[in-house]
Structure 1
Amino acid sequence: MSDTLLEQTRALHDDLEKLERVIVRDFKQDLKSHKDRLMQNHRVRKRLDSMQAAARKLIKIYDDDDGARKDEIAALAQSESGSFATFYDRLKEIKDYYKRFPTDEVTEAEDDEFLLKEEPRTEFSGDEGLGRYLDMHEHHQRFLNSKFGRKLEYFQFVGSFSSDLSAVPKPQKGSRQYKEYLEHLFSYLMLFYEKTQPLGQAAKQLVKLEQEIRVRWSAGEVPGWEDRGLGQVAGSSSIGLDMDAFETVEELESIGADRLKEALQGLGLKSGGTLKERAQRLYLLKTVPLTKLEAKHFVKGVIPPSETAATTGRQVDNKKAEEGALQVCLLESKIRKLAEILASVITETKGRIEKKQAQTYEELQAEQEEAEAELAPEEEEDEDEFVYNPLKLPLGWDGKPIPYWLYKLHGLNQEFKCEICGNYSYWGRRAFEKHFKEWRHQNGMRSLGIPNNKNFYEVTKISDAESLWKNIQDKAKGGFHPEVDEEFEDAQGNVYNRKTFEDLRRQGLI
């Protein structure tokens, strides 16, 4: 069965309605986890792209530039045998087709559940935490190892990578290294935004921003780029001095170092050195025109005036330099804009860096396991699956017995019983030590009328706890106790309490 233009139009409209219904059903889902919401946004973005593609095809059909649609409609209306004959011919063609292929359905099934559970593939690094945080380590290293960078901790760099662009010296901004750094940084931020906010409109905002920057650039109103990247032209400012009034270098020295410095800066010449060196440099203009002065006398970044400045070659060089400076300015502006859009993510990233610096190894490992479990594809649980566990080892996060070496390492084969807790068993030294501060042991001590403090640490028998508590109370009351307080001395002059002395004497040791 051949698809006519009218049938293609109907099918495209049907696809648009179907995609719209799927998007509505997807948004009606109650999703709580970050991963589910992210996958939902990517699914909707995919459907919107499909709708835009279908809409472009429909517009092309309705524009009918080749007249095919108009001819097809005319053929239906101007058939020699009448419109109904044409209709029945088409109907017969459709019936014959489905007689030959009876398994084909006229419309697709309405069950779109599989579309609502689809998980588009989105790659994130481990530090990005499924799009919650930025991973700026590579750009941090580029910044530290560059000529325009400075020493910054990673935490400081994440918070100031956009504002630091203004502090880069103007000569360094024209370098290839700086432009490549900006391109890599912008590409990463843009890719991260598209992965985490597929329904966002950052691209449109950046296009509008670029248009505004280009207008302000032409007027020389972009902060820091008033010279449009061409630098100061030597001699463009007035120095306010009549050089004909000075006959010697000494006369120039008389006007002072500050005045000489101001005059040299106005001409674009170097203004450093001693008073005499400044006067000599300015006095050169008495004999050598500014246009023929050697380039070594000019400040770096200042364009020396030349008699051929108006030539085509100079104009081409200036235009090329201005275009390169404009591209750098646009990249800087776009990075700052993306930093504003991702301000909440940057704040979360800084908080996570601080948290990681204070975490122990065990906490970092547990967090990594949680992240891996979140990224792992969900598998349907089989309730009837039998787990072979002859040693009765504890189960791990995956529902399988932990390795035996790990079981032995943590001492989980050692049983500790606590009579105070009702002969409850604790497996492993770590669990045993923790239980003294848990509610079960605290309730047991409270029932005995004994305070649960560090004096009773490691005491698990009721009789031991009561005896220790009695001794503590007796010591607190004071008084004379013969067995403990009465002292005896042997022939060598050693002093013992009564109980110890009698024990040693019975054994014949003294």
Structure 2
Amino acid sequence: MVVLVDFCDNLIETRKSFVTKKKEPEISFSREEGFGKYLDLHAMYKYNQYINSKFGGGDAKIEYSAYLDVFSRPPCNKQKCSKQNRKYMEDLLGYLVGFFKRTKPSQDLDTILSNVEIGFEEQETATTEELMDLGAEKLKEALAALGLKVGGTVQQRAERLKKHQKSAREIAIIEAKVKKLCALLDETIQRTKQNVNKKTYSGLQRLGLILLITFSIALLLVSIVIVKKPSSCNLNK
């Protein structure tokens, strides 16, 4: 009897634990990501307008396979602090963070990225007052070199330069985080490049085969027409 009671109690507890057990969150991947094997950067490539952006060189002809070689490379021009580039880098960072957490949930990414920021906290930037001490002309030269508005009082110029320095620092942090994530995901990035190149090659092979078949059919039709066409000698007879 005691054994039967214990069995029933265990059965009830097992049922309770089964009912109350939380359902594990479902991890989803896009078709292009192949269950986490590859990156899917098509949104960054097309819909965030990298291919037509000024910071991307405005090269609308760049192929996706070539884009994978430069997608995380910061622009070496005045577009570095542009709103367009900042949005692109923020969206790219967001995607890489999400992908990393989906594929490597056991790793503490928050701590990793926090450590990236520590290096920037140690870097001091000049205050507005210190910038004002440079004088109007030097401030004007600095603003002009950055492609910024150069007019205004000394204080206005200093504040404008200070604002730019703050923005540049924030973008530099984003770039550093993207660089760190790319290093952590290097194997996935290389695998993605190989997969895209393989698809491109297969596509070219299919296109070549289609062209060959089309050309063969065209030759066959021409030969049929020539055979059926009566010769001039037969017409004279």
Q: TM-score if structure 2 supplies the norm length?
A: 0.64
* SS state at 1:109 partner: helix
Q: Would the alpha carbon gap of residues 183 and 354 (structure 1) be closer, same or farther in structure 2, given more than 3 Å must change?
A: same
Give the deviation of 1:161 after TM superposition: 1.7
1:195 aligns with 2:195: no
Matching residue within 14, 29, 37 for 1:132: 37
Unaligned runs of 5+ in 2: 1-7, 127-133, 207-237
Alignment map for 1:386-401 (pairs within 5 Å): none
1:144 aligns with 2:51: yes
The residue identity in structure 2 corresponding to 1:122 is I
- The higher relative CO (CA closer than 8 Å, separation ≥ 6) is in 2
Alignment map for 1:179-218 (pairs within 5 Å): 179-216=86-123, 218=124
Q: Which protein shows a greater Rg?
A: 1
1:348 aligns with 2:194: no
Matching residue within 175, 180, 194 for 1:337: 180
Q: Would the alpha carbon gap of residues 300 and 360 (structure 1) be closer, same or farther in structure 2, given more than 3 Å must change?
A: closer
Q: What is the rounded CA distance, in whole Å, between the counterparts of 1:233 and 1:301 in structure 2?
A: 19
1:159 aligns with 2:64: no
Q: What is the rounded CA distance, in whole Å, between the counterparts of 2:85 and 2:112 in structure 1?
A: 24
**Bigger proportion of residues as helix:** 2
Q: Would the alpha carbon gap of residues 331 and 316 (structure 1) be closer, same or farther in structure 2, given more than 3 Å must change?
A: same
Q: What is the rounded CA distance, in whole Å, between the counterparts of 1:320 and 1:268 in structure 2?
A: 16
* SS state at 1:144 partner: coil
Q: Would the alpha carbon gap of residues 133 and 209 (structure 1) be closer, same or farther in structure 2, given more than 3 Å must change?
A: same
Aligned to 1:177: 84
Aligned to 2:168: 325
Deviations 1:185-224 (A, max 9, x none): 11111111111111112211111111212213x168xxxx
Alignment map for 1:82-101 (pairs within 5 Å): none
* SS state at 1:200 partner: coil
The residue identity in structure 2 corresponding to 1:215 is E
Q: What is the rounded CA distance, in whole Å, between the counterparts of 2:164 and 2:203 in structure 1?
A: 52
Q: What is the rounded CA distance, in whole Å, between the counterparts of 1:172 and 1:233 in structure 2?
A: 26
8 Å contact kept, 1:159–1:346: no
Give the deviation of 1:160 after TM superposition: 2.5
Q: Would the alpha carbon gap of residues 195 and 235 (structure 1) be closer, same or farther in structure 2, given more than 3 Å must change?
A: same
Q: Would the alpha carbon gap of residues 359 and 175 (structure 1) be closer, same or farther in structure 2, given more than 3 Å must change?
A: same
Give the deviation of 1:326 after TM superposition: 1.9
Q: Would the alpha carbon gap of residues 114 and 132 (structure 1) be closer, same or farther in structure 2, given more than 3 Å must change?
A: farther
Q: What is the rounded CA distance, in whole Å, between the counterparts of 1:355 and 1:233 in structure 2?
A: 58
Alignment map for 1:4-403 (pairs within 5 Å): 108-109=13-14, 120-141=25-46, 142-150=49-57, 151=59, 152-162=62-72, 164-165=73-74, 167-169=75-77, 171-216=78-123, 218=124, 235-236=137-138, 268=141, 301=147, 304=150, 308-309=153-154, 311=155, 316-359=159-202
The residue identity in structure 1 corresponding to 2:172 is C
8 Å contact kept, 2:151–2:157: no
Give the deviation of 1:304 after TM superposition: 4.5
Unaligned runs of 5+ in 1: 1-102, 221-231, 238-266, 270-294, 364-510
Q: Would the alpha carbon gap of residues 158 and 233 (structure 1) be closer, same or farther in structure 2, given more than 3 Å must change?
A: farther
Q: Would the alpha carbon gap of residues 358 and 109 (structure 1) be closer, same or farther in structure 2, given more than 3 Å must change?
A: same
Provide the identity percentage: 29
Q: Would the alpha carbon gap of residues 115 and 319 (structure 1) be closer, same or farther in structure 2, given more than 3 Å must change?
A: same
The residue identity in structure 1 corresponding to 2:90 is E
Aligned to 1:496: none
Q: What is the rounded CA distance, in whole Å, between the counterparts of 2:67 and 2:19 in structure 1?
A: 43
Q: TM-score if structure 1 supplies the norm length?
A: 0.32
How many residues align? The count is 185
Give the deviation of 1:114 after TM superposition: 9.6
Deviations 1:217-236 (A, max 9, x none): x168xxxxxxxxxxx98744
